[in-house]
Amino acid sequence: MVIHGGAGTILKKNMTPEKEAAYTEVLKDALQKGKSILANGGSSKDAVIQTIELMENSPLFNAGKGAVFTNDGTNKLDASIMDGATLDAGAVGGIGLVKNPIKAANAVMENSEHVLLSGAGAEAFCKTQNLEFVDPKYFFTEKRWQSLQRALDKENGMGNIFESNPDYKFGTVGAVALDMEGNIVAGTSTGGMTNKRFDRIGDSPIIGAGTYADNQTCGVSCTGHGEYFIRYAVAHDVSAQLEYSNKSLDEAANYTINEKLVEAGGSGGLIALDKKGNISMPFNTEGMYRGYITDKEQYIGIYKND
């Protein structure tokens, strides 16, 4: 299993040892959770949902509790999941009342005939699905509130915080797992971008952009400047290279992130896991919270040279 907790301007000089330890601990817990499910013969779907749920419940990441604020001071969450065995997929965009958006995405996949539901309609569907609802205040964290205030101070007309803030940190979470049956599942969950407006939705709930899984190729979860990830269909681009060329997973993932996206000016990274269990975690930012676990080893990294 491989996970990420977002890419961005994550520099050692800006981190305290306490903060670093806190991030590492949640990443470790998430990997252990996934491993315990997979090692006991559980499905990659359960591993992905429960791992992402754990990260959504941590205020450290921009997903679930800890999600960033929109321009009008609300939290609007996006998530998606895809099953590589069937190519079934489910996603939600712009929801603010369901505690764990990854579970909402899964409910769309499992119990609706649709792939992507948004806003109040998605929440009405979730009401029928036995999902935990919370007061919108649940998502409030002081840190993200302050980020919104800084963004509002700096904004350059249309509220494009990314362009006006080179220190942007993404904090989206994602997971890809391969189970004993050879099934690959990928999922992604995010609060999107600080100061977003006009009901902006990024790549995270877009199948083929932020998330993709196909047992014949690989599973992918992305984090970064969503508009680029949508236009370059990043998650599917990695899978397509495996399908149509002889590239390795690492070559394909690196090509998309470190050549195509860099040329285009799109910041971010992705995690990918192929049908043979190969893992790739490229990013073109200063850092990316990331980790993987196999039956033999566990790795956690934050900065470029980890």
Contact call for residue 287 and ligand ASP (CB under 6 A): no
Shortest distance, CB of residue 303 to ligand ASP, whole angstroms?
17
Stretch that binds ligand ASP, among 48-56, 122-130, 169-177, 279-287 (CB under 6 A): 169-177
Q: Residue 133 in contact with residue 58, Cβ under 8 Å?
A: no
Query: Measuring CA to CA, which residue among 167, 166, 265, 178 is closest to residue 220?
Result: 178
Closer residue to ligand ASP, CB minimum distance, 38 or 287: 287
Bridge-based pairing of strands 116-118 and 2-8 is unpaired
Distance CA 219, CA 35 (A): 17
Contact call for residue 75 and ligand ASP (CB under 6 A): no
Contact call for residue 195 and ligand ASP (CB under 6 A): no
Q: How far apart are the first and last CA of the chain?
A: 18
Contact call for residue 187 and ligand ASP (CB under 6 A): no
Shortest distance, CB of residue 159 to ligand ASP, whole angstroms?
14
Contact call for residue 202 and ligand ASP (CB under 6 A): yes
- Binding residues for ligand ASP, total number by CB under 6 A: 14
Residue 156: HSE in the Cβ half-sphere, 13 Å Cα cutoff: 6
Shortest distance, CB of residue 86 to ligand ASP, whole angstroms?
25
Query: Catalytic site residue 194?
Result: no
Distance CA 148, CA 16 (A): 22
204, 217, 256, 280: which one contacts ligand ASP (CB under 6 A)?
Answer: 204
Mask for 207-236, x = binds ligand ASP (CB under 6 A): ----------------xx-x----------
Q: Residue 172 in contact with residue 161, Cβ under 8 Å?
A: no
66 dihedral zone (left: phi>0; alpha: psi -120 to 50; beta): left
Distance CA 238, CA 255 (A): 8
Q: Residue 174 in contact with residue 187, Cβ under 8 Å?
A: yes
Contact call for residue 171 and ligand ASP (CB under 6 A): yes
Binding site for ligand ASP (CB under 6 A): 6, 62, 170-172, 190, 192-193, 202-204, 223-224, 226
- Give the active site residues: 172
